[in-house]
Structure 1
Amino acid sequence: MQLPDSLQPWREWLEWFAPEQLPLFADLLGRLNPMLGPLRGLQQGGVPEPDGLGDLQRRGPYERLLSSEWLLADEVPDEFLRRAVVGEHMFLAPQYRAQQASRLIVVLFDAGPLQLGSARLVHMALLILLARRAKEAGAELRWGILQHEPLLHELDSVAQLKRLLSARTFTTVNDAHWQTWRQSLQNEPMPVGECWLVGQRLPVTDRHTCTHRVQVSRSLEGQSLSVQMQAGETRRVSLPIPDERLAVQLLKGHFEGEVVQAAPSAKGLVPRVSLTLQPVISSAGTHVALKMLDEPGMVVIKLPAQNQKKSLEVRRNLWSACRTPLTVLFVGRAIGAVLSDQLQLSFWNIPGLNPVDKPSLEELKLPPGTANFLPAVGLHGHFANRLYLLDTQGHLAFWVVEKEKHTATPAPRGTQRLAAGVMAMAKVSGDAMAYVRREGDRLYAYSINSNSGDSNAAHVVGIAEGVTQVLFAASYRWRNGFGGCALLTVKNECESWRVVSVKGAPFENQRIDLARGWKGIGLLQEDDEDYSLLLISPGQQAIALHYGDDHETLFTTSAVIAKVSFCPLSGLVAVLTSARELLVYSVPKRLMRLQVFCNEQPENKDSSDA
């Protein structure tokens, strides 16, 4: 797992968590770490250990008497006795070295009713901080529960964190609990260097046995946690209440990082991919594809199922090197593309579509290079299949593949133009697409059903002036009407989005004003009425979700995000970082589906197509 530099000191323990949970710990660890202070328990102690011979001396036990003295006892016994009486015997003096006391850090937690909820997240963060503290000092860390019988545990796996969270009790901590632990610690074979007590309304302790006391309590207004540490001096810090969804997930012991860590390895090599073209996500949310850098084609990765054991399925699909891809899309589970050369447009891996003459610039303005894939949608109907493509000038074109059993009315061949002045389009249902078109000073939303192929009645979504981008929400309502969208205007370099919902007039809809640098990248409808706006952070290293008055960070990246895609149908967001790390995240499930580096040289070709 790639971690920001600020979290690298705790990498060993943070790898147990999912990437979307890291922002919560980044805040907790960053605020709590300065409170810990210097480490105690570094004094010398214990029983000295012999370390060879150091000198001769006139006193000592007779088992260390010099051998020459014993020879004198055999030859001249009277002289031996005389020397013994006057203290003239010589003894060997061993050299001793001081033994450094074993450095043991013990932390005892209050698991009672006063510490339920967000306070337990502070317990987890402190345990991780103390684990690193012990490792740096060559010490050992042990933890226990004040209300339980004296039993110390290590922190050697994520299971220990789950044990800490599951150790809930409705008994408040009292003096008897501490006295039991105090007696047990005094009988420990290894001297205790530091003893930490963490909780609320802790019992009275002495400084010799308990070196640190940490009081964790909720503020009176309920909007923050107060953490007070006593160790000679008193330090305090105020922590914001963590995001409720992430907090509940962690408190239940759902550390999705375990799933990410155990994700299947890639079968073969994942080739290097281009950082200038966005990932392509299948509508079913089962595959993601990226443009290869060293070969003309796409690498397609099948997203693993949860707890999948078999290898990750990775395939390379190649087209002719002399053709330029204008757009790439999934046709079912297969990847397809519209390719261009000087004279023709060809449809790679799209059954039923034959090459056509390249349209004139007036009909369809196609880019000479591949700065971005053009928006494209494929619809499968009962009578015909259609492929729609939006060019850089707002021209919406399509091609038709008529099914064999319905040939009474032949479909028009070649490139067909549907509309001009189109600002955006997207697939919004399994059998429908939507687009927004500028007509005069207004914007109109249309939808197309896969069976009819005709545009439904227009829906006015607002005034066109100042609108520069449109995002669509996936909804079954698009099949026969309007399903919701969001319109962007920019004011003082800050994005302002107006969400046009299914219900109500445009002027009654939600407005979302973003802080400078934040950008909207997707619109999600998680229930029948409410909409969420998917965002990318100013530094392009975090993906967040804005819903209602809340702002939730979904996950962060260690490198800058180079390209990002969002599929409103599946709710998947795919980001490609400058380090060529691909992350695929399910927004509805709040789950990281895939995390893999795409930076290896290819070894072989799975498939090719001229």
Structure 2
Amino acid sequence: MQLPDSLHPWRQWLEWFAPEQMPLFGDLLGRLDPILGPLRGQHQGGVPEPDGLGDLQRRGPYERLLSSEWLLADEVPEEFMRRVAVGEHLFLAPQYRSRQANRLIVVLFDAGPLQLGAARLVHLALLILLARRAQEAGAELRWGILQEAPRLHELDTSAQLKRLLSARTYHTVSDAHWQAWCAWLAEQPDQAGECWVVGQRLPRTDSQSCTHRVQIHRSLEGQSLSFELQGVTTRRVSLPIPEEGSAVRLLSGQFEAEVVAAAPAVKGTVPRVALNLPPVISSAGTHVALKLLDEDGMVVIKLPTEHQKKSLQVRRNLWSSGRVPLAATFSGRNLGAVLSQHDWLWFWKVPGLRAVEKPPREQLQLPPGTARLLPVVWLNGGRTGRLFLLDTQGHLAYWEAASGESAPRSPPAKTRRWADNVLGLAKVANETMAYVRSDGGRLYAHSVGTEGAASCGHVIGNAEGVSQVLFAASRLWHRSFGGCALLSVDNGKQRWQIISATGCSMPSERVDLAHGWKGLGLLRQYRGDPYSLVLIGPDQQTVALHSEGQQRVLFTAASDIVKISFCPMSGLVAALTSARELLVYSVPQRTLRLQIFCNQVAAKHKEGADA
């Protein structure tokens, strides 16, 4: 991004914003930077520690008097007394270890109703200025919200700016809020050299606990903002009200350099969903399903079109009480699931399959809780359908279902073993699935079509150290190998080995991710295109794409992502946040397909609900 010379000091943070937003921030940064003043960290307290002997001084205790002076007392006592009278004695002065000022800058923001609107943009600008201030001084910057429980955050990604904007409350700052922060900061091992408090009608503070107070409020005529910094001295500056269109986009979190177009604006509500299971995405990319929180079942959402005027299509699908979902998948637009209850497996809305007894644990290891959904693929071959399920120990099992006229007369399905030592399973093409198994220390990739026969194994590498497999969707799987990625972990960092499809010019590529980044999926949109890894960042809010050695942000969530799914067939990412906000993003189209809160509480559950 090309920036004017005046904005280069803040380039590292301004790259998070779109070019058209530079004038707004350039004006704010230019007006605020001159009045902040130099870093004035508080020096560490305590008794200074001696570090040997330093200089000679005319004053001091007589136990530090030079030895030559004591010789005068023995040999020439009159001269000794004269020197005492006129102050000519020389004393040894101790050298003390120098103490640097504390290099931690803490800034606490008021997120109450008095700071809504343009004042929040001033918060962003001030946070960027203080980040640069800390960087120049070799210090660290941490920020928090005055009205929230004490907790400090870093400023390392644009997601932190969104976190700041999303922190809103109807409560103004009280003395209790400030006292809670003071007590918490006093208990921390690293004491703050500077503590900034930013807001309006701030509580009373002292210079020891708060070095800088910033009061931001609208002028009486409402045409400007007043920024008043109270530190060693008081400085004021008047700031213009930003242009409404740019301000609204920034306040809504649309400020990344690659601006994500807003999702289609459709009316509709979604029932409250559980946060312990990931979203389920249809292969066609038309529907997303989530587990309901207040009822036994799932809610299915049809993704809206770009110019849709109708309300969002949402339908609740309920099953019998007490049954626990183990796996869920779509067949077209219809959702089906494998449910567990006592000693039985139930195939909910899976055509042609009836309940079966649970197989022994050595044949199929099923999780006792509901912390995850097992990989599952439904292949419909016309007269016969097959449901494949991969358990937690690498056992791949399947059930056959008769369809058509013979379905009602078919005997109950049996749990059958397909393969062992399987690392991964996914649907990769129309009525085709792929899986990778380990055998004799080597990894083999197979595909299975509607006829129910596995392809010959394609050797893709050694099994040692590989813990996960991601599959790329491709029609090449119909007749050969369509590409996958193998995960190994090195010193806590993920390393992905991308194995290209048959016939590619580059057979293999290694991708080393930075600490905390994790791979979600593998995408190859067209034949001849490079492979791309879909990633989630260490902040649990940033979703990015790694392709051809470059990494770019796709979107960031306003709160932590607790569950996330990727569909290689449709290229959709579905992220569910801690605030029960569902974001569905199309990687091939680089568009946000849906953004909606799934927190509608039914009337019978409203009393005592933890929305």
Deviation string for 1:387-417 (max 9, x for gaps)? 111011111011111234689x989931111
* Native 8 Å contact 1:436 1:446 kept in 2: yes
Summarize the Cα distance change of 1:33–1:456 in structure 2 as closer, same or farther, 3 Å threshold.
farther
- 1:80-479 alignment runs, 5 A limit: 138-139=222-223, 155=243, 157=245, 246=258, 256-257=261-262, 260=263, 263-266=265-268, 269-404=269-404, 413-450=413-450, 452-479=451-478
* Native 8 Å contact 2:353 2:412 kept in 1: no
Deviation string for 1:105-134 (max 9, x for gaps)? xxxxxxxxxxxxxxxxxxxxxxxxxxxx99
Deviation string for 1:436-470 (max 9, x for gaps)? 001121110000011x1110010011100011110
- 1:67-78 alignment runs, 5 A limit: none
Distance 2:427 2:507 in 1: 26
AA aligned to 1:263 is: A
AA aligned to 2:388 is: Y
Residue 212 of structure 1 corresponds to none
Distance 2:360 2:292 in 1: 29
Q: CA deviation at 1:385?
A: 1.0
Distance 2:564 2:248 in 1: 36
AA aligned to 1:425 is: L
Distance 2:327 2:309 in 1: 33
Residue 31 of structure 2 corresponds to 37
Distance 1:603 1:284 in 2: 34
AA aligned to 1:511 is: R
Summarize the Cα distance change of 1:426–1:34 in structure 2 as closer, same or farther, 3 Å threshold.
same
* Native 8 Å contact 1:337 1:349 kept in 2: yes
AA aligned to 2:266 is: P
> What TM-score, normalized to structure 2?
0.58
Residue 96 of structure 2 corresponds to none
> What TM-score, normalized to structure 1?
0.58
Are residues 1:546 and 2:546 paired? yes
Distance 2:496 2:248 in 1: 45
Q: CA deviation at 1:36?
A: 2.6
Distance 1:155 1:29 in 2: 11
Residue 481 of structure 1 corresponds to 480
Distance 2:395 2:547 in 1: 33
AA aligned to 1:463 is: N
Where 2:495 maps in the other structure, the secondary structure is strand
**Structure 2: 5+ residue stretches without partners:** 1-14, 34-215, 226-241, 250-255, 606-611
Q: CA deviation at 1:503?
A: 3.7
Summarize the Cα distance change of 1:134–1:551 in structure 2 as closer, same or farther, 3 Å threshold.
farther
- 1:496-515 alignment runs, 5 A limit: 496-503=495-502, 508-515=507-514
- Over the aligned positions, Cα root-mean-square deviation in angstroms equals 3.3
Q: CA deviation at 1:140?
A: 8.0
Summarize the Cα distance change of 1:550–1:507 in structure 2 as closer, same or farther, 3 Å threshold.
closer
Where 1:428 maps in the other structure, the secondary structure is strand
Deviation string for 1:309-360 (max 9, x for gaps)? 1110111111111211111111221111111111211111111111111111
AA aligned to 2:453 is: D
Deviation string for 1:42-93 (max 9, x for gaps)? xxxxxxxxxxxxxxxxxxxxxxxxxxxxxxxxxxxxxxxxxxxxxxxxxxxx
* Native 8 Å contact 1:431 1:479 kept in 2: no
AA aligned to 1:469 is: Q
Distance 2:281 2:271 in 1: 18
* Native 8 Å contact 1:402 1:411 kept in 2: no
Distance 1:296 1:405 in 2: 31
Where 2:532 maps in the other structure, the secondary structure is strand
Where 1:37 maps in the other structure, the secondary structure is helix
* Native 8 Å contact 2:480 2:502 kept in 1: no
Distance 2:527 2:417 in 1: 34
AA aligned to 2:223 is: A
Report which structure shows greater RCO (CA 8 Å, sep ≥6).
Answer: 1
Deviation string for 1:192-247 (max 9, x for gaps)? xxxxxxxxxxxxxxxxxxxxxxxxxxxxxxxxxxxxxxxxxxxxxxxxxx96xx4x
Q: Percent identity?
A: 51
Distance 1:158 1:390 in 2: 49
Summarize the Cα distance change of 1:135–1:591 in structure 2 as closer, same or farther, 3 Å threshold.
farther
Summarize the Cα distance change of 1:571–1:495 in structure 2 as closer, same or farther, 3 Å threshold.
same
Summarize the Cα distance change of 1:35–1:157 in structure 2 as closer, same or farther, 3 Å threshold.
closer
Larger Rg computed on CA atoms: 1
**Structure 1: 5+ residue stretches without partners:** 1-20, 40-132, 142-153, 162-241, 606-610
Distance 2:298 2:522 in 1: 27
Distance 1:25 1:292 in 2: 41
Summarize the Cα distance change of 1:480–1:429 in structure 2 as closer, same or farther, 3 Å threshold.
same
Where 1:466 maps in the other structure, the secondary structure is coil
Distance 2:580 2:555 in 1: 17
Distance 1:29 1:339 in 2: 56
AA aligned to 1:570 is: S
AA aligned to 2:566 is: F
Summarize the Cα distance change of 1:581–1:404 in structure 2 as closer, same or farther, 3 Å threshold.
closer
Deviation string for 1:7-31 (max 9, x for gaps)? xxxxxxxxxxxxxx97547995897
* Native 8 Å contact 1:272 1:599 kept in 2: yes
Where 1:372 maps in the other structure, the secondary structure is coil
Distance 1:160 1:575 in 2: 24
Summarize the Cα distance change of 1:24–1:513 in structure 2 as closer, same or farther, 3 Å threshold.
farther
Distance 2:461 2:554 in 1: 31
AA aligned to 1:526 is: Q
AA aligned to 2:464 is: E
Distance 2:361 2:486 in 1: 28
Residue 571 of structure 2 corresponds to 571
Question: Which sits farther off after the overlay, 499-508 or 578-587?
Answer: 499-508
Distance 1:551 1:342 in 2: 47
Distance 2:533 2:486 in 1: 11
Summarize the Cα distance change of 1:494–1:348 in structure 2 as closer, same or farther, 3 Å threshold.
same
Where 2:31 maps in the other structure, the secondary structure is coil
Distance 1:507 1:438 in 2: 24
Distance 1:34 1:159 in 2: 13
AA aligned to 1:330 is: F
Q: CA deviation at 1:599?
A: 1.4
Summarize the Cα distance change of 1:29–1:448 in structure 2 as closer, same or farther, 3 Å threshold.
farther
Q: CA deviation at 1:272?
A: 1.4
Distance 2:491 2:340 in 1: 40
Summarize the Cα distance change of 1:22–1:300 in structure 2 as closer, same or farther, 3 Å threshold.
farther
* Native 8 Å contact 2:300 2:315 kept in 1: yes
Q: CA deviation at 1:263?
A: 1.1
Where 1:478 maps in the other structure, the secondary structure is helix
Runs of 4+ residues deviating >4 angstroms: 21-31, 133-137, 154-161, 404-407, 409-412, 504-508
AA aligned to 2:261 is: E
Q: CA deviation at 1:32?
A: 3.3
